[in-house]
Amino acid sequence: MTAPPQSTPPTHKRVDNTPRGIAAMLMSVLFFSLMNVLAKLLMDRFPVTEVMFFRSLFALIPVCLSIHLGIGFATTLRTRYPWGHMGRSLIGLTTMVAMFWSFHLLPLGDAIALNFAAPLFLTALSVPLLSEKVGIHRWSAVLVGFAGVLIIVRPSGDVLNLGAIIALCGALTNALAMIAIRQLSRTERPDTIVFYFTLLTTVLLGLSLPFSWVTPDPMDWLLLLVTGLFGGCGQLMLTRAYSLAPAAVVAPLNYTSLLLAVIFGWFMWGEVPTATMAAGAAVVMASGLYILHRETRRQTTVTKPLPAGDGD
């Protein structure tokens, strides 16, 4: 799972640079895809929590370097809502556990495809949690998207197993993390949100190490280091992409991660996607793109009266 994007605080004016935003998003997808492959390899020998710990610990290296070269730690560490960061980190940690565990239990392409249900959950949850209005168009897209999820997991067959359930739980908590980030972004800088999330998840995961420790050998240490570096760089590139270009431009590029997951899954583990999985993933992605289109249209026309009967 790619971590949700952080929006630029309203006190800072954003200057769009669409080509650089697209490049940053593609780099983010590549970094996260490589991280997922290494995590899946490592979890054949190490507990999920240990892999996640080192993913978070070593991700602090590029995150701290970016802060040092940017606005500095004095500004970044300043926060008005420490408990908000703690809550966001707990939700994000749950998402990471579910995501990494699903990589271990499912073909990589299937796990990524089910994670794309997060925007569907986000749209549905924005009504009770953010008091947002969702019209008939987006509700229809949500229902169609969940139909695509059912196509992937085939609840009447043998695919609705523990891995699929965990992947969907990860998509749900990912949507909750997006909501938490949306609320924090009203006052907190993007680097502040990334830093506290990475730091707090490292500390929380470190508490589990005495109960599930497997000593890495030198090659394992290298793989764990690279996994964390890929994760940290991916998060920074994701944040950078959304600060340089409109979401409507860069967000659809995230779906290229499914293509990379299928390629890596086939090359590394011989995982060939089924026609059912491909069809369901296509439906889920189409629904997510339509929701993004309607959300973008709603934002650009918020000051204009909608014709009678029109809705999001």
What digits encode the pLDDT tens for the residues 22-63? 898 899 999 999 999 999 999 999 999 999 999 999 999 999
Which residue did the predictor score with more confidence, 213 or 141? 213
Q: Which two tokens stand for residue 215?
A: 């000593």
Find where tokens 């997951």 sit: 261
Domain count for the chain, please give it. Answer: 1
Q: What are phi and psi of 163, to 5 degrees?
A: -60, -45
State the average pLDDT for the chain. 83
Indicate whether 196 belongs to any domain. yes
Indicate whether 8 belongs to any domain. no
Indicate whether 96 belongs to any domain. yes
- With a CB cutoff of 8 Å and minimum separation 6, the contacts of 102 are 111, 114, 115, 163, 164, 166, 167, 170
Indicate whether 124 belongs to any domain. yes
What digits encode the pLDDT tens for the residues 111-121? 888 888 888 88
What digits encode the pLDDT tens for the residues 217-254? 999 999 999 999 999 999 888 888 877 877 667 777 88
Answer yes or no: pTM beyond 0.85.
no
* Confidence at 6, pLDDT banded by 50, 70, 90: very low
CA distance 53 to 138: 37
Indicate whether 247 belongs to any domain. yes
- Of 164, 179, 54, 184, nearest to 114 by C-alpha is 164
Average pLDDT of span 145-155: 79
Contact between residue 138 and residue 295 where contact means Cβ atoms under 8 Å apart: yes
Indicate whether 187 belongs to any domain. yes
Indicate whether 47 belongs to any domain. yes
Q: In this structure, what is the dihedral angle of CA atoms 147, 181, 254, 103, given to the nearest 10 degrees?
A: -70
Domain containing residue 165:
18-299
CA distance 88 to 79: 14
